[in-house]
Structure 1
Amino acid sequence: MHLLLITTMPSYKQVLCGLALLLYSAAFAQSSESADTIIRRRCATMEVLNKMITQNPSLPQQWQREGEIKYQQYLQRGSTAVAARTTGSAPYRVSGNEIVIPVVVHIVLANPNTVTDRDVQEQIEILNIDFAGLNKDSAVISPEFKARFGHTRIRFALARTDASGNFTTGIDRKISSTSYTQNTYDRVKRLTTGGVDAWDVNRYYNIWVTQFSDGILGVSTFPYMTPAAEQGTVVNYRSFGTNPAYVNPQFCLGRTLVHETGHFFYLYHIWGDDNGACTGSDFTTTTGYPLPSSCTDDTPGQGNSSSGFLGGYITDNCTSINPGINYQNYMDYTNDVSYGMFTQSQVCRMEAALNTYRSTLASSAVDFPPSGITDLCLAALTPGNRQGVVTQAVCNGTAVKALIRNQSSTTLTSATFNLQYDNGAITTIPWTGNLEAGADVTITLGTISIATGSHTLKVYTTAPNGTTDSYIANDTLTRQFYITGDAVTAPYTESFETTTFPSNGWQLSNPDNSTTWQRSSLAAYAGAASARIGNYSQSSTAGQWDDLISPPIRFSADADSVKMSFRVAYRAISNTPGSYFDGLEIWVSGGCGSDFRPVYRKASPDISSVNGITSGSFTPTASQWRLDSIDLTPYRRAGENMIVLFRNINGAGNNIYLDDIRFTQTALWSSDAQIAAVSAKTFTCSGTTLQAGVAIRNNGHDALRSASIHYKVDTTGTEQVFNWTGNLATGDTALVTLPDITSSIGQHSLIARVSNPNGQTDQNPGNDTARAPFIIFGTVNAPLTEGFETNTFPPTGWGVNNPDNNTTWTRSRKATTLLQTNDIAAAVMPNFGYNPGNVTDELISPVVRYNNVDSVFLLFDVAALYSAITAVSDTLQVLVTTDCGTSYQTVYSKTGVFLATQTGSNATAFLPETSGGYRRDSINLTDIVPAGSGSFQVSFRNISSGRNNIYIDNINIKTKTLPAALKEKGYLLYPNPTRSTVVIQHYLAPATLKGIYITDMAGRILYRESYTTGQAPAYKVVDMTSYASGIYLVRLIYTDNVITEKIIKQ
């Protein structure tokens, strides 16, 4: 049910999955699945390792001893001993210093010819492409992980010289009907137990391909594992290569071998195999087998293995914020299609492991044949796919390209290519060149010119260097393709309204002839129909792909940007990553089918257009569609049309709908300058001078070299002009610092516009102007009182910060029942009916200055409503800043019932009407603001959830200065003399005060108060009203002291 239209050499592997699905489904759909078709676990390497240690606990000590010897040998060799192919004799040459590992593949099956020579060759191609980091599906890896994307120098080549020095194909076959398990897999490595002995593990990377009956896909060996003679990898043939006759559709990209080869070069599973504890590391080493410290861990924490098809950001209990876990990593357990990368440190680790513990593989050179061998390998061919797959759509004029590799013992200088379309006449094309042994090159064999419709192209090579080819099983490739009809011209819309489907030159790719895209009248964003694919309950076709392919799109040659938008509707049936996760991918070819690349991949939850999950088959309502868009400009090729395909990846989840697919184009004005942004310091607390700047952007065709920038404060200000010169290419932006601007205390807006680009009239004046708000705060001496009684709001010296330029703090007249002569208004944040989603709005005080004070207090009235049926409430915070808003400290935060002064319904806007509607709150700021002298501001911050209004009023910022005698002595009794009460005050909390006694001069106790340690108050008032006039003694009893003072009662 799928076809992957990839036509450039590094991605040919994915094309084969389409046929895999067709034949795999056909083979097993009509009968119960045999044991070897059910996949239960991707990898058993760690299970095998742990079992070995359990059965032989002394193994780690043995490995340590062996490792220490190997490490000393490495140190003696020197760290640069690994042989690199600097001559270019390596496949997929990139850096020029590739390291080539010879490979031998042992196929042990009842019919070992099931896995053909071409299957093996294509699997090795995949291994090279993924290790080189040339896989095109890496384009949809999230940018955070793409920044860690690694390219290894390690390459692989089938052996051409056997252990006896004779020519070999690097492929070894044995007939065996044995099915293996993770407990018996090692028997396939020994002739004595019915398998095949490894070739010299110091010279060959041994790979065994066989059958598993317990659903295991692969097992490999770490460098330290024993026995040494059995080092290598075992792969289930159901996931080896891309042959559609036997591969499992979910593992049909040949990436099981990529995963297991990572183990072979000392990589561990990315989640650390710690069963979700978040403590395991995939960069650990075994005692005795160290690696360089430079290969530091660059993979995120992960709880357990991933599975299924994943896309976008996925988080778990170990990494709970984006970008989440690195499920795209080859060392996770996802389906092949979700794989896509090694990290840079994983590359470092593999190359270090090769250099330290497997260096003999790199220097064995048995991938070169003995002398006298002439072998030209046709490694890949584009365009087209294998026979039996709904064919790739391309246009006439598409180049036929062949990737050839010289597997001869000498330089390849000539060959003949034979091209045959539709079993017709054969066209021969001679080639000459200079291709050294082991190297590859892509050559062009003309272009396609043939009638619209389906066709077959067969290409085979003959006469390499004018002689007979020593090995002909790698000489021929056959591809099918479809020549498209006429192009449609943008702007172009497809809404699937015609009853014919697909229509207007669109195509379907449905190789298994099962569920696929269809026109549906069940739902539509606009009109009566949409395109729908029914993934719901389609578990029998899980993992399969279906493509909906556009006709060629013709864009105008003078279009500067081209875009595609579309409507998509989907609702998941599970929120467990990988469980019933369907996917939608979009692939684009700017070369009319010759160069498809992925530009969009979404799986649950990102693909969902509806929150939450459902258990039923999804049919969207009119409001359950999402608009997505893609900038296609980067993928255009001059003079060629574009083809876009929409790929469904079935996870047996739910139905995907598409509608209203639009292709648009835009041509730029030749002269178009824009003020992209105005930058002004939001808050100024000292003086009235503003520092500001603008970002000027060139949106025109022509380079922007000069412009006039006009700026002023508020609409009533005097406009100033700054003449800018520079050199901006199309799309570039320059930051321009403006001369200092003098303004006044209060709320303002800096307005800037641009004119005269290159001395010409701006052809698009609609984007010439931008503005930015700013506040210049006043400074007042404490105390500060504000009751919002004047009509001016915010009051003089105050400011309102309204980031979204929407509903914010304002002045409100109080209810008639609360009106007083000097109290008629309050500040209000009208949250009722306003639901921006946790947007903050701030009412900020002037700068409050104070000198030589001992304490600072904030008091204010607040009114808010609480409704018990409201799930989410608005929040009021009070924050203090001493640096003009650069940093804040929260001193008050209340929401819901803790903020409320009244209860009631949120059905109407709240207006307090009784005296109980307001509450007086107070905050001691003494320990928040600078001690003694300083300045600060207070911000009343509203965080709106759209519930109801919050009021504040009668703000009072006051200070208090203590008597000098109190600070000097540590305590003070006052007033003295007194007519009524006496205050006993301590400067600091009297932690050791045990009691207070007042006696007359005759020693009679008139007042006594006792305290437990640490509980005495710092401020105590004693009522002496009833005492007779005279002199009294006040005794303060501490644990270590007694103080006696006289007090006069008048």
Structure 2
Amino acid sequence: MKHLLLCFLIATTCPLFSQGLIKQALSKPHHASANDTLVGCGSFELMKHADRVKPGFLKAANQYLANITNENANRKKTSSGVMQIPVVFHILYNDTSANLADSVIQDQLRVLNESFRRQNTDTVNTRADFKPLVADSEIEFVLATNDPAGNPTNGITRTYSPTKYFGGVLPYDQTQMQEIQDWLNDSLYYNYFRITQDSLGGRSAWNSLNYVNIWVGDLRIFEPKFNDFEELVFFGLATPPANHPNWPTEIYTELGGFQEGILLHYPVIGSNNPNLFPTPYQSYDALVRSGKILVHEMGHYLGLRHIWGDGDCTMDDFIHDTPRSDRSSSFNCNHVANNCVDTILGMDLPDMVENYMDYSSGNCQNSFTQGQIDVMRTVIETNRPYLISTRSFVVDANPAISYYPNPTSGQITIHFNETNSDATIRVFSIDGSLIKTHEVTNSTETKIALGQQNGLYVIQVHSGNGISTFRVLKQ
């Protein structure tokens, strides 16, 4: 069995008669969820699958998010300032329509950054109830300027692929629903992740510790025994952090050679994409062609759940300032709906269709809440720390920590001015590469050697006093 725990957005199909065979299989009663009338996000279904593979996983994964929220409420603020994250777009195409122009990728990056920095013009549409809750994440994304070998790049790769449909070819018809179900469980996710490997018709990842890899290609499934139907099941999907303490490694190892990152169906990239959805999916042209699908998937990549918690009013996304709902908004902008009773800022707030982690139309998505931002920044710092460009490390004057000498001939001493039980110290070169990690336990002082080369180093100290970052010159 080849499975992979992913976090992704599954496309809804249009009229019921246009359902493909995989959607029909996903809509079976044992897959039923709050979104059983449409093919909603598959992340929760795969989380339930992971729970079957590793019993207790679902509880542990949810507890991890709850812990992050509680820790953010009780600890000093995470490091301030803009985090700059390098990304690379891998374009996979079988025909020229999928070989998107640089201008489309650049427009997508603009939408991504405006959304994360709350600089998008439609923030004026955020309802007054939510304005005290939303914020600028101070997370920015830049196209990589150097590839893993150090060569200059524009952050875009282009690869012709003999693979037409990265969703695969389904060899069954509508009378073979059990075989289709088995194929869905055994082959579908393997098919999609061919796009991440050179040897399988895709493009292998750049080091996922240092780049966010975004693959763009044709994610449809071809169903020759169902009137040659080209089924769109996923708009996009994102993997969770591989070093997340509660994501079960059993899920990863079942899909040999999987690559971390985000996969996107090529028509949803950018707001200036010339590709339109074919019949019967053309209604999505007005709903999801805003470039905000990537914003949603990047939220998943950085640890967020769907705002409605993938269930009814008893389910939660573990974010304290997002109102609960018992369903997604299903690509509409209903400003009246208030499906669950909760208390935020002393009020029972309506469903937040403005939130990027809902299934609302791109026309009404315009916000992350501060609670969501705190989780994303914590996941970056804790689970994806090597993504942060050293150019964006903010030097923090933390009175709980002192260090000397600076400049140094090769070694520094870090002194904890307050009682310290444990800390993790990371040393980065100025190009963002991790040099070493040093653990400190029950100590008020530690010595740490820098790298062999002279030059500027970035030191990051994670402790009970928060996160402190400073630069040290070796000469």
Class of the TM-score when normalised by the shorter of the 2 chains:
0.5 to 0.7
> Residue 217 of structure 1 aligns with which residue?
235
After TM superposition, the structure 1 = structure 2 runs for residues 894-905 of structure 1, keeping only pairs within 5 Å, are: none
TM-score by length of 1: 0.26
Q: Distance in 2 between matches of 1:358 and 1:335?
A: 29
> Residue 361 of structure 1 aligns with which residue?
387
Aligned residue among 338, 347, 360 for 1:334: 360
Q: Structure 1 unaligned segments of length 5 or more: list them.
A: 1-31, 72-77, 85-96, 284-295, 367-408, 410-1050
Aligned residues: 293
User: Would you say 1:186 and 2:193 are equivalent positions?
Assistant: yes
Whichever residue aligns with residue 57 of structure 1, its letter is K
> Residue 34 of structure 2 aligns with which residue?
none
> Residue 99 of structure 1 aligns with which residue?
83
Aligned residue among 317, 321, 328 for 1:282: 317
User: Would you say 1:308 and 2:294 are equivalent positions?
Assistant: no
> Residue 346 of structure 1 aligns with which residue?
372
Q: Equivalent residue of 1:219, what SS?
A: strand
Q: Distance in 1 between matches of 2:143 and 2:361?
A: 26
Cα deviation, residue 58, structure 1: 6.4
TM-score by length of 2: 0.55
> Residue 141 of structure 1 aligns with which residue?
126
1:429-450 Cα distance to aligned partner (Å, 9 max, x none): xxxxxxxxxxxxxxxxxxxxxx
> Residue 110 of structure 2 aligns with which residue?
125
Distance 1:80 1:301, change over 3 A: closer
Q: Does the 8 Å CA contact 1:313/1:322 hold for their aligned counterparts?
A: no
Q: Equivalent residue of 1:218, what SS?
A: strand
Aligned residue among 228, 235, 239 for 2:264: 235
Whichever residue aligns with residue 383 of structure 2, its letter is Y
1:373-400 Cα distance to aligned partner (Å, 9 max, x none): xxxxxxxxxxxxxxxxxxxxxxxxxxxx
Distance 1:173 1:149, change over 3 A: same
Distance 1:132 1:45, change over 3 A: same
1:527-572 Cα distance to aligned partner (Å, 9 max, x none): xxxxxxxxxxxxxxxxxxxxxxxxxxxxxxxxxxxxxxxxxxxxxx
Whichever residue aligns with residue 300 of structure 1, its letter is P
Q: Distance in 1 between matches of 2:46 and 2:160?
A: 26
Q: Distance in 1 between matches of 2:76 and 2:147?
A: 29
Q: Does the 8 Å CA contact 1:303/1:318 hold for their aligned counterparts?
A: no
Q: Equivalent residue of 1:130, what SS?
A: helix
Q: Does the 8 Å CA contact 1:42/1:256 hold for their aligned counterparts?
A: no
Distance 1:343 1:280, change over 3 A: same
Q: Does the 8 Å CA contact 1:298/1:345 hold for their aligned counterparts?
A: yes
Distance 1:154 1:41, change over 3 A: farther
> Could you say which structure has the higher helix fraction?
2
After TM superposition, the structure 1 = structure 2 runs for residues 903-914 of structure 1, keeping only pairs within 5 Å, are: none
Q: Distance in 2 between matches of 1:129 and 1:148?
A: 18
Larger radius of gyration: 1
After TM superposition, the structure 1 = structure 2 runs for residues 280-679 of structure 1, keeping only pairs within 5 Å, are: 280-283=315-318, 297-317=320-340, 323-363=349-389
> Residue 266 of structure 1 aligns with which residue?
303
> Residue 43 of structure 2 aligns with which residue?
45
Distance 1:352 1:81, change over 3 A: closer
Q: Distance in 2 between matches of 1:59 and 1:109?
A: 40
Cα deviation, residue 325, structure 1: 0.9
Distance 1:33 1:279, change over 3 A: closer
Q: Structure 2 unaligned segments of length 5 or more: list them.
A: 1-16, 24-37, 69-74, 168-187, 221-231, 277-284, 393-430, 432-475
Cα deviation, residue 229, structure 1: 6.2
> Residue 54 of structure 2 aligns with which residue?
57
Q: Distance in 2 between matches of 1:125 and 1:189?
A: 24
Q: Equivalent residue of 2:328, what SS?
A: coil
Whichever residue aligns with residue 218 of structure 1, its letter is G
Q: Distance in 1 between matches of 2:201 and 2:292?
A: 27
Cα deviation, residue 44, structure 1: 3.1
Q: Distance in 1 between matches of 2:76 and 2:148?
A: 28
Distance 1:332 1:81, change over 3 A: closer
Cα deviation, residue 209, structure 1: 0.9
After TM superposition, the structure 1 = structure 2 runs for residues 665-704 of structure 1, keeping only pairs within 5 Å, are: none
Distance 1:81 1:317, change over 3 A: closer
Q: Equivalent residue of 2:367, what SS?
A: coil
Cα deviation, residue 140, structure 1: 1.6
Q: Distance in 2 between matches of 1:255 and 1:338?
A: 10
Q: Distance in 1 between matches of 2:101 and 2:40?
A: 23
> Residue 206 of structure 1 aligns with which residue?
213
Cα deviation, residue 364, structure 1: 6.0
Whichever residue aligns with residue 178 of structure 1, its letter is K
Q: Equivalent residue of 1:119, what SS?
A: helix
Q: Distance in 1 between matches of 2:19 and 2:390?
A: 41
1:322-376 Cα distance to aligned partner (Å, 9 max, x none): 641112110010111121111111111111111111110003669xxxxxxxxxx
Distance 1:271 1:124, change over 3 A: same
Cα deviation, residue 297, structure 1: 0.8
Cα deviation, residue 33, structure 1: 9.4
After TM superposition, the structure 1 = structure 2 runs for residues 885-900 of structure 1, keeping only pairs within 5 Å, are: none
Distance 1:246 1:47, change over 3 A: farther
Q: Does the 8 Å CA contact 2:86/2:389 hold for their aligned counterparts?
A: no
Q: Distance in 2 between matches of 1:140 and 1:322?
A: 20
Aligned residue among 168, 187, 196 for 2:153: 168
Cα deviation, residue 46, structure 1: 3.2
1:470-529 Cα distance to aligned partner (Å, 9 max, x none): xxxxxxxxxxxxxxxxxxxxxxxxxxxxxxxxxxxxxxxxxxxxxxxxxxxxxxxxxxxx
Whichever residue aligns with residue 91 of structure 2, its letter is I
Q: Does the 8 Å CA contact 2:196/2:258 hold for their aligned counterparts?
A: no
Q: Does the 8 Å CA contact 2:107/2:271 hold for their aligned counterparts?
A: yes
Q: Distance in 2 between matches of 1:243 and 1:45?
A: 28
Cα deviation, residue 202, structure 1: 0.6
Q: Distance in 1 between matches of 2:44 and 2:308?
A: 12
Cα deviation, residue 185, structure 1: 1.9
1:596-637 Cα distance to aligned partner (Å, 9 max, x none): xxxxxxxxxxxxxxxxxxxxxxxxxxxxxxxxxxxxxxxxxx
Aligned residue among 133, 156, 159 for 2:144: 159
Q: Distance in 2 between matches of 1:170 and 1:335?
A: 28
Q: Distance in 2 between matches of 1:107 and 1:41?
A: 26
After TM superposition, the structure 1 = structure 2 runs for residues 817-836 of structure 1, keeping only pairs within 5 Å, are: none
Distance 1:190 1:58, change over 3 A: farther
Cα deviation, residue 273, structure 1: 1.1
Q: Distance in 2 between matches of 1:250 and 1:204?
A: 29
Q: Equivalent residue of 2:287, what SS?
A: helix
Q: Does the 8 Å CA contact 1:102/1:365 hold for their aligned counterparts?
A: no
Cα deviation, residue 194, structure 1: 2.1
Q: Distance in 2 between matches of 1:318 and 1:230?
A: 40
Cα deviation, residue 203, structure 1: 0.3
Q: Does the 8 Å CA contact 1:209/1:236 hold for their aligned counterparts?
A: yes
Q: Percent identity?
A: 29
Whichever residue aligns with residue 88 of structure 2, its letter is V
Whichever residue aligns with residue 267 of structure 1, its letter is L
